[in-house]
């Protein structure tokens, strides 16, 4: 039955349209303007089309059926009107008099279905069981009004003034008091329908609230149409095509809004639609007033008919459009869309702070979180040439929506900047979400570039650290090879020579000097290999940094004091610290003219802090080819830093900080 009934109603409507078009062609007389005909056709089409869709797809909701009934009423009204006009041109047409009465008296049914929709919109149910009596009372009053209009004791409206009604007429003593009651009751029913919408809106949330707001937005075209009609009447003295054309707007807009709301298609756009309508309506009025004022003022000054006045007014409107639009948008947002207004202002302040250096690009995510009112919001950045994302510190991160969080991609043209992981509730306000993210696009791009630079620098530092570590491992290998290979072989050769010398006995006296010289050369080669191995990687580091520093101080020609922690550190860290101390001590010996050098090493704030000071003449600089520049590069490769303080006449202090794991 629910599948057949919509098609039956559609068939009746189409049949009615065919009949009214037929009598329209047979009738020469017209009662309305072409715009009234256009509005009528649009209203009939929208009510029928939307009603058919809703009745077939949401058959349990009576709204679709009410729209189809409204379409049928419009079709029957058109049939009655055209046939009544046909009867005026062809006297004696059967039923023409009743058609005239119908056309005159049926007007309450033109708004009755829409009023009924207001009672049950958007879910097809009354706001509460208490509204049942009000709905039933409104229906009874509507029926009473229709009966009274059909049986009214007066002549029919024009152009049917000469037609005699075929229906009995009530006595005025009965009609008048009943008509007053029915009129007041009908007006009260309309107010009740509007109050039902207001009641539901006050307690609605989510989709239901947006559905009602969309209907209210469409219904706002009714006072606009009335205002257009009044304006035309005041200017021209009568309502004509402008009033008729504007009247078509609510007749088309309301059914369309009902269909969109019930089908829940792009409901989230209603806030954007209302916002833009207010902005451009206000902007149109202001620009029209500006154009009129400029053209009128220059017209008076230059004389009527001057093209300069028109050109100047047009130029003025073009110049003020952009700035005026921005001001109007802010005013509308501040009054009707406070979250968007506050969010955009917060982003503007962050951009101003970025330009002034009061904020860093890394704070863009926090600024977005504050602007959108989502403290858990996360801003991640796209990696050029890769498909993943990184956080503000440059670390890879997963971005995936879940039950509570959603992801909005950030782009500037074809360039992917990143993504915003935010609360799903923000999807209910797409205008706020998109506007704030778009406004923050420049800040997000700056933050992404800053993150990319830090990420690349981190990769370079890691690469340098790997090179240093690889070099250190290679030096250890060379040191082991020298110690365990060539050095041991030379020692074995020296022992073998002594053994041969011992075997020769008295016969070897002639070769004793040569053999002693050979052993001496072998011993010197061993010492040179030991020094070479010590330069590649000090063997004393096997016992730790502190013993190595004390041995280094013991070999120094200057008095050197050492205060070092006995804690062990990673081998590359200890080796770097040893070479820093060795280079600084060498500089003090060669250039400082110092009498005392102090070496200290301790852990502080997650770093090994090595300090070498002397009481020399100062003035040391870390030039490009100096040893100080070399140790600076070596420490920097491990993520550390070196500072040199060497005022003239006050000695030199070299401080190296090497990050180390706790």
Q: Which two tokens stand for residue 38?
A: 């256009």
pLDDT digit string, tens, across residues 159-217 = 787 888 888 888 988 888 998 898 888 888 878 887 887 888 777 776 677 777 777 76
* CA 124 – CA 325 distance, rounded (Å): 40
pLDDT computed for residue 341 by the predictor:
83
pLDDT computed for residue 118 by the predictor:
81
* Token pair 């043209």: residue: 413
Around Cβ 420, how many Cβ atoms within 10 Å? 26
pLDDT computed for residue 653 by the predictor:
92
Instruction: With beta carbons less than 8 A apart as the criterion, state whether 491 and 448 touch.
Output: no
Around Cβ 579, how many Cβ atoms within 10 Å? 19
pLDDT digit string, tens, across residues 71-85 = 888 888 888 888 888
pLDDT computed for residue 239 by the predictor:
52
Say how many residues make up the chain: 662
pLDDT computed for residue 657 by the predictor:
92
pLDDT computed for residue 654 by the predictor:
92
* CA 392 – CA 92 distance, rounded (Å): 88
pLDDT computed for residue 598 by the predictor:
94
pLDDT computed for residue 413 by the predictor:
75
Q: Which string of b and e fits 264-298 if b means at least 16 CB within 10 Å?
A: eeebeebbbbbbeebbeebbeebbeebbeebbeeb
pLDDT computed for residue 478 by the predictor:
63
Task: Give the alpha-carbon dihedral of 369, 375, 381, 382, to 10 degrees.
Answer: -100
Instruction: With beta carbons less than 8 A apart as the criterion, state whether 623 and 587 touch.
Output: no
DSSP 129: T
pLDDT computed for residue 362 by the predictor:
85
The ranges of the chain with pLDDT < 50 are 267-268
């Amino acid at each position: 039955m629910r599948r057949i009934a919509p098609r039956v109603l559609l068939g009746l409507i189409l049949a009615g349209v065919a009949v009214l078009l037929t009598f329209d062609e047979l009738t020469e007389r017209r009662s309305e303007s072409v715009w009234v005909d256009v509005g009528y056709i649009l209203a009939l089409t929208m009510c029928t089309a939307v009603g058919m869709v809703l009745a077939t797809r949401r058959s349990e909701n009576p709204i679709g059926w009410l729209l189809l009934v409204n379409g049928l009423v419009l079709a029957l009204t058109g049939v009655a009107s055209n046939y009544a006009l046909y009867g005026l041109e062809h006297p004696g047409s059967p039923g023409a008099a009743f058609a005239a009465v119908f056309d005159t008296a049926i007007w309450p049914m033109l708004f009755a279905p829409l009023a009924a929709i207001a009672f049950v919109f958007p879910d097809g149910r009354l706001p509460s069981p208490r509204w049942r009596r009000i709905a039933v009372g409104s229906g009874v009053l509507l029926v009473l009004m229709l009966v009274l209009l059909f049986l009214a004791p007066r002549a029919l409206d024009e152009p049917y003034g000469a037609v005699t009604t075929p229906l009995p007429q009530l006595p005025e003593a009965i009609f008048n008091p009943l008509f007053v009651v029915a009129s007041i009751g009908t007006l009260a029913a309309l107010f009740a329908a509007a109050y039902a919408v207001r009641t539901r809106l006050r307690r609605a949330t989510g989709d239901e609230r947006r559905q009602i707001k969309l209907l209210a937005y469409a219904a706002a075209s009714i006072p606009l149409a009335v205002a257009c009609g009044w304006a035309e009447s005041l200017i021209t003295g009568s309502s004509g095509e402008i009033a008729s054309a504007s009247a078509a707007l609510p007749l088309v807009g309301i059914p369309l809004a009902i269909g969109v709301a019930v089908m829940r298609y792009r409901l989230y756009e209603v806030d954007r639609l209302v916002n833009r309508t207010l902005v451009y309506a206000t902007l149109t009025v202001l620009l029209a007033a500006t154009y009129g004022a400029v053209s009128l003022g220059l017209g008076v000054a230059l004389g009527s008919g001057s093209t300069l006045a028109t050109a100047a007014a047009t130029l003025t409107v073009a110049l003020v459009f952009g700035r005026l639009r921005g001001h109007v948008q802010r005013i509308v947002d501040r009054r009707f869309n406070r979250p968007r207004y506050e969010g955009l202002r917060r982003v503007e302040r962050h951009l101003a702070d970025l330009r002034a250096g009061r904020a860093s690009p890394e704070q863009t995510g926090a600024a977005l979180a504050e602007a959108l009112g989502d403290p858990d919001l996360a801003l991640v950045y796209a990696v050029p040439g890769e498909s993943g994302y990184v956080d503000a510190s440059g670390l890879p991160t997963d971005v995936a929506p879940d039950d509570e969080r959603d992801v909005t991609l950030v782009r500037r043209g074809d360039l992917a900047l990143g993504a915003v992981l935010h609360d799903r509730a923000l999807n209910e306000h797409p205008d706020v979400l998109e506007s704030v993210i778009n406004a923050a696009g420049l800040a997000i791009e700056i933050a992404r570039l800053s993150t990319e630079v830090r990420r690349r620098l981190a990769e370079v530092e890691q690469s340098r650290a790997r090179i240093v570590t690889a070099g250190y491992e290679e030096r250890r290998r060379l040191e082991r090879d020298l110690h365990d290979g060539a050095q041991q072989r030379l020692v074995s050769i020296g022992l073998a020579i002594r053994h041969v010398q011992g075997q020769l006995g008295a016969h070897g006296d002639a070769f004793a000097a040569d053999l002693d010289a050979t052993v001496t050369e072998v011993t010197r080669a061993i010492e040179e290999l030991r020094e070479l191995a010590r330069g590649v990687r000090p063997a004393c580091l096997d016992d730790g940094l502190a013993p190595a520093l004390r041995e280094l101080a013991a070999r120094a020609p200057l008095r050197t004091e050492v205060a070092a922690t006995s804690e062990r550190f990673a081998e590359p860290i200890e080796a770097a610290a040893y070479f820093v101390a060795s280079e600084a001590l060498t500089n003090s010996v060669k250039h400082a003219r110092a009498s005392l050098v102090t070496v200290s090493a301790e852990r502080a704030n997650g770093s090994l802090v090595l300090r070498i000071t002397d009481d020399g003449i100062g003035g040391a600089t870390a030039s490009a080819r100096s040893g100080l520049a070399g140790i600076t590069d070596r420490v920097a490769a491990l993520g550390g830093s070196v500072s040199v303080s060497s005022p003239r006449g006050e000695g030199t202090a070299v401080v190296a900080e090497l990050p180390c794991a706790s």
